[in-house]
Amino acid sequence: MLPQEIIKAKRDGKTLSPEQIAFFVQGITSGGVTEGQIAAFAMAVYFNGMVMPERVALTEAMMNSGNVLQWDHLNLDGPIVDKHSTGGVSDSVSLMLGPMVAACGGYVPMIAGRGLGHTGGTLDKFESIPGYNIQPDQDDFQRIVKEIGVAIIGQTARIAPADKRFYSIRDVTATVDSIPLITASILSKKLSAGLEALVMDVKTGNGAFMTDLEKSRALASSIVQVANGAGVNTSALITDMNQALGDTAGNATEMREAVEYLIGKRRNPRLHEVTMALCAQMLLRSGLATNTAEAESKLNDALDSGKAAEVFGKMVHALGGPADFVERYDHYLPKAPVIMPVYADAPGYVTQVATRELGLVVVSLGGGRTNPEDAVDHAVGLSQLASIGSYVDQDKPLAMIHARDEAAAAMAAVELKASIGLSENLPTLDPVVYEILTKDSIKES
């Protein structure tokens, strides 16, 4: 086989065989396929797409380009299950979800990512905890998952190396926005954890990667069909990202909100709805519950009994963080020197949020990155974010800004106010969860 013949076939709209796809992906990994050939292949897929068997073959080939975790030797007494989100603003769900599902009997080997652009990253949030090690060796990672039920860490160079090279070339050739390639990129990394079940959170709205509901649905459908085709029981939720998901945005600010959620101090209704819906699907997909009511009952027990918070604390300590982090989180998490309320110029109801721009306020404060190599200030961010439908006035701020200095706070206040629209009338609220897609529901539609 020759790379150029595979490119030609896809350019001409033909369906590639699993062998052709495996050969090409092997060349991406080994260097046997040039950057120009990868770019041409990506562009051919961008314009001609891929049928589902091609998408499954591409996902499996990219997954098998590196390490695929094996769990049989650990004799786990429950299912291996995970969740992935396409990213957004104030999306701290993973921080609570992993411990909640572990407390219900699942094993969650979560390999998470960093924030880039306006979206926050799970790893950056965990690095706000002193000592937390996002890069344990594989044996320690698997041991912690077995002993505690969950470990949330970063991707290593041994996981889906084909994706790393492929994505870097897609990024500079305007071929990132291809549903078959997005599907393979996400799933090759996720499925390399040796999962039995997976739940996807596909965001839609002005703060999401896919801003259009139909495109979000197409991506969710593709992921569900490909992951099930690869033998992993998978469903997907389409959830709203037309405003921040929780009360906070940043790293330490979101970690503080996550701990307070787990211990029952406060639970933002939108954040709670998405977290519970994703967790319930994880229990259903993995066989830990037979219906939604049973799943929700188990999850509420995990929260109310304190078991989910206990699991979270054990995970933090096992990965190098303080043993008493849950009890003394406010002592350990960094605090910004300047914490300032931002008030609207006139009272009214919050009717719309430019969510991407809101996320960029955190970036401008130093809490995010526009380049993968950028350093992050874990202390800065936003809290007490006013949600759509809430009334703001001289007593109720739009948000609290956590900044490194007064000048940064003042600049962020201007950007924050520009990202929020007000009205005298109460707005109509978007759904929080638009729909749930399963293998069977897609077949029926």
* Three-state SS annotation for 237-293: EEEECCCCCCCCEECHHHHHHHHHHHCCCCCCHHHHHHHHHHHHHHHHHCCCCCCHH
- Kindly state whether residues 155 and 269 are assigned to the same domain: yes
Write down the pLDDT at residue 296. Answer: 98
Residue 236 lies in a domain: yes
- Residue pointed to by tokens 């041991």: 143
Strand pairing partners for 201? Answer: 85, 237
Across the chain, mean pLDDT equals 95
> Phi first, then psi: what are they for 207, rounded to 5°?
-110, 10
User: CB–CB of 311/149 below 8 Å?
Assistant: yes
The 10s digit of each residue's pLDDT in 54-77 is 999 999 999 999 999 999 999 999
- The Cα–Cα gap between 178 and 396 comes to 43
Q: Is 224 in the same domain as 356?
A: no
CA 152/CA 112 separation, integer angstroms: 7
Closest of 186, 218, 170, 179 to residue 43, by C-alpha: 170
Q: What is the CATH number of the domain that holds 274?
A: 3.40.1030.10
| Backbone φ, ψ for residue 110 (5° rounding) | -90, 120
Domain co-membership, 207 together with 249: yes
Separate counts of helices (H) and strands (E) for the chain: 18, 13
* Number of CB atoms found within 10 A of residue 137's CB: 10
Residue 63 lies in a domain: no
322 and 339 both lie in a single domain: no
**In 10 A of CB 135, how many CB atoms?**
12
Q: pLDDT value at position 113?
A: 83
**More confident position, 445 or 362:** 362
192 is catalytic: no
Under DSSP, is residue 282 helix (H, G, I), strand (E, B) or coil?
helix
Pair (317, 344) in one structural domain: no
Report whether 409 contacts 340 (CB < 8 A). Answer: yes
Percent of the chain at pLDDT > 90 equals 92
Tokens 């939108």 correspond to: 270
Q: Which of 10, 84, 114, 118 is catalytic?
A: 84
> Looking at the domain assignment, is residue 257 inside a domain?
yes
**170 a catalytic residue:** yes
Any idea what the CATH number is for the domain that residue 354 is in? 3.90.1170.30
Q: Are residues 93 and 11 in the same domain?
A: no
* Within a domain: 60: no
pLDDT at residue 52 tops 50: yes
Q: Say how far apart CA 276 and CA 259 lie, in whole Å.
A: 16
C-alpha to C-alpha distance for 322 and 318, rounded to whole angstroms: 9
CA–CA gap between residue 186 and residue 195 (Å, rounded): 14
Confidence of residue 138 (pLDDT cuts 50, 70, 90): very high
Write the pLDDT tens digit of every residue in 111-120. 988 776 787 7
Look at residue 308 and tell me if it is in a domain.
yes
What pLDDT, on the 0 to 100 scale, is given for residue 439? 93
At 193-203, the pLDDT tens digits run 999 999 999 99
52, 91, 185, 238, 352 from 215: Cα distances, Å? 17, 20, 17, 11, 21
Does some domain include residue 11? yes
Give the alpha-carbon dihedral of 254, 259, 263, 269, to 10 degrees.
Answer: 20
**Alpha carbon 404 to chain centroid distance?**
27
Is 158 a member of any domain? yes
Q: 213 and 280: one domain?
A: yes
Judge whether 122 counts as a catalytic residue.
yes
State the Cα angle at 177 between 195 and 8, rounded to 5°.
95
Amino acid occupying residue 266: R
Does residue 440 have an active-site annotation? no
Identify the bridge partners of residue 65 per DSSP, sorted by sequence position.
none
Q: Which residue among 10, 59, 82, 275 is the active-site one?
A: 82
Per-residue pLDDT, 421: 97
**Of 10, 29, 65, 83, which residue is the catalytic one?**
83
Same domain for 27 and 136? no
Chain segment 142-191, per-residue pLDDT in tens: 999 999 999 999 987 788 999 999 999 998 999 988 999 999 999 999 99
Same domain, 175 and 237: yes
Same domain, 409 and 439: no
d(CA 189, CA 162): 10
Write the CATH number for 28.
1.20.970.10
pLDDT at position 327 is: 98
Q: What is the total count of domains within the chain?
A: 3
Q: How far apart are CA 37 and CA 4, in angstroms?
A: 7
Q: Which residue type does 260 have?
A: E
CA-CA distance, 94 to 381, in Å (whole number)? Answer: 19
Instruction: Measure the CA–CA gap between 160 and 64, rounded to whole angstroms.
Output: 7
d(CA 121, CA 372): 11
Catalytic annotation on 190? Answer: yes
pTM of the predicted protein model: 0.95
Can 11 be counted among the known catalytic residues?
no
Confidence at 445, pLDDT banded by 50, 70, 90: very low
For residues 175 and 231, membership in a common domain is answered with yes
151, part of any domain? yes
Look up 189 and say whether it is catalytic.
Answer: yes
Q: What is the Cα–Cα distance from 96 to 259, expressed in whole angstroms?
A: 8
Instruction: Give the range of the structural domain holding residue 80, as residue numbers without chain letter.
Output: 72-328+433-444
Annotated catalytic residue within 10, 114, 125, 190: 190
377 forms beta bridges with: none
Closest CA to 396 of 347, 437, 439: 347
**Pairing state between β 348-353 and 391-392:** antiparallel
- Check: CB of residue 199 under 8 Å from CB of residue 234: yes
Phi–psi pair at 324, nearest 5 degrees: -110, 30
Q: What is the spatial distance between Cα 307 and Cα 60, in angstroms, rounded to a whole number?
A: 36
Radius of gyration, CA atoms only, the chain:
22
- Quick one: 266 and 406 in the same domain? no
User: Is the pLDDT at 444 greater than 70, yes or no?
Assistant: no
